[in-house]
Amino acid sequence: MFRDKVAVITGAGSGIGRALALQLAQEGARLALSDIDQAALDETLSLLPNEAGDTTRGYLLDVSSREDVFTHAGLIHKDFGAVHFLFNNAGATVVGSIEHLSIEEFEWQLGVNLWGVLYGTKAFLPDMLQRREGCIVNISSVFGMISFPTQGAYNMSKFAVRGLTECLWSELHGTGVHAVSVHPGGIRTGIAQTARHCAASGDYEQQFEGAADKMLITPPEKCAADILKGLRKGRRRILTGHMSRRLSWISRLLPDSYPALLRRMR
């Protein structure tokens, strides 16, 4: 399914993006990898098998920049031609209550997690539609199914990514192009260590200190393997990682009362 196919992965310098890159390289895919951190991206490139060197390229990219993403798409089409898989994976988080988060902090968060996904989708979708072939894989989250305190901006972005992707399910029907929404649970990436904390952070935010350590336990390699397995099976929604299925069911069965359960789980 992936051999000799071109896969674009944003946020490939660490975590799920790096794991996807390594596993797709083993599958024989041709890789266009990007990250905002050049050193992290270089480390991912150094971990790839030797035979992947001739079919892989790395790109420095800020997904929150519309101009940069569309320029990036043009470079990839020039370097590789057709793109078969787009993994809109790059993401970040800022910790803070909605009361304490500034508008600028919301804008930064949505720039990476929401606008980055939209820019990537808009930049690569036209060519996929023209060729009637392709798959857009958008990384949402279990926090795109339930909302968690101090993750208001992150929740907004991931619910929006889910909504965007599920709209594509209908709009792309019969076109040969597919959209997939991935909802990772507690994946042990570096997102907790690199998370920003709002400037007005206070006692309320401190109540949730350490929650990430308890939840982020699934290795990113397992997450990446689940994503590729889901793609092979033709899944449109992929759940993976610690508590992902449990939280998915909670959102369905207790849509109005799940916050009470979250308070017990902290």
Predicted local confidence at residue 245, as pLDDT: 86
Per annotation, catalytic residue among 59, 119, 154, 258: 154
The stretch 29-46 carries a mean pLDDT of 97
266 pLDDT above the threshold of 70? no
Rounded CA-CA distance 196/78 in Å is: 36
Predicted local confidence at residue 200, as pLDDT: 86
Per DSSP, 113 falls in state I
Question: Tell me: the pLDDT tens digits for 132-145?
Answer: 999 999 999 999 99
Report the run of H or E that residue 156 belongs to, with start and end.
helix 152-171
Predicted local confidence at residue 60, as pLDDT: 98
Per DSSP, 14 falls in state S
More confident residue, 188 or 95: 95
CA–centroid distance for 123 within its chain:
17
Pairing relationship of beta strands 177-184 and 237-240 according to DSSP bridges: parallel
Domains of the chain, each with CATH number or no CATH: 6-265 (3.40.50.720)
Active-site residue, 154 included: yes
Predicted local confidence at residue 1, as pLDDT: 94
> Coil, strand, or helix at residue 198?
coil
Indicate the pLDDT class of residue 265, thresholds 50, 70 and 90: low
Pick the closest to residue 150 from 99, 109, 111 (CA basis).
99
185 pLDDT above the threshold of 90? no
pTM for the full model? 0.93
171 pLDDT above the threshold of 90? yes
